[in-house]
């Protein structure tokens, strides 16, 4: 019985998943350069799926998106969901993302 417990513990330890939270600005690189929320990475909304994969964003990670008005972030959100990402949130505008970042108290993963 004890050996079975040790085997189970060892196996489940091998499959531990640690999800991260990501703050992604889906505007153009030029817009991002001018101003962006602290801790945000930049992946343009047209490239969100390939960009997320290249950045190492896992499908179980939480992804917070924003743009100028929320429209491009919503398109990016739908693309990520269609590609199997499970926890995707459209924060809306840059100002909304800045407010979220100030109050979230979360360590956000970035790719820079």
pLDDT at 104: 82
Compute the distance between CA of residue 31 and CA of residue 56 in angstroms, rounded to an integer. Answer: 23
Question: How much is the average pLDDT of 8-16?
Answer: 42
Beta strand ranges found along 1-112 (DSSP E): 21-25, 41-42, 62-67, 87-93
pLDDT at 4: 42
Compute the distance between CA of residue 66 and CA of residue 17 in angstroms, rounded to an integer. Answer: 26
Question: In this model, does residue 109 exceed pLDDT 60?
Answer: no
Catalytic residues: 67
pTM value surpassing 0.85: no
pLDDT tens, 33-92? Answer: 999 999 999 999 999 999 999 999 999 999 999 999 999 999 999 999 999 999 999 999
Contacts of 86 (CB under 8 A, 6+ apart): 59, 60
């Amino acid at each position: 019985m004890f050996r079975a417990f040790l085997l189970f513990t060892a196996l489940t330890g091998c499959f531990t998943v640690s999800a991260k939270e990501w703050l992604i600005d889906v505007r153009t690189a030029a817009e991002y350069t001018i101003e962006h929320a602290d801790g945000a990475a930049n992946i343009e909304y047209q490239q969100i799926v390939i960009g997320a994969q290249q950045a190492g964003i896992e499908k179980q990670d939480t992804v917070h998106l924003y743009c100028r008005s929320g429209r491009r972030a919503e398109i990016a959100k739908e693309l990520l969901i269609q590609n199997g990402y499970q926890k995707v949130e459209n924060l809306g505008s840059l100002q909304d993302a800045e407010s979220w970042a100030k109050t979230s108290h979360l360590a956000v993963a970035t790719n820079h």
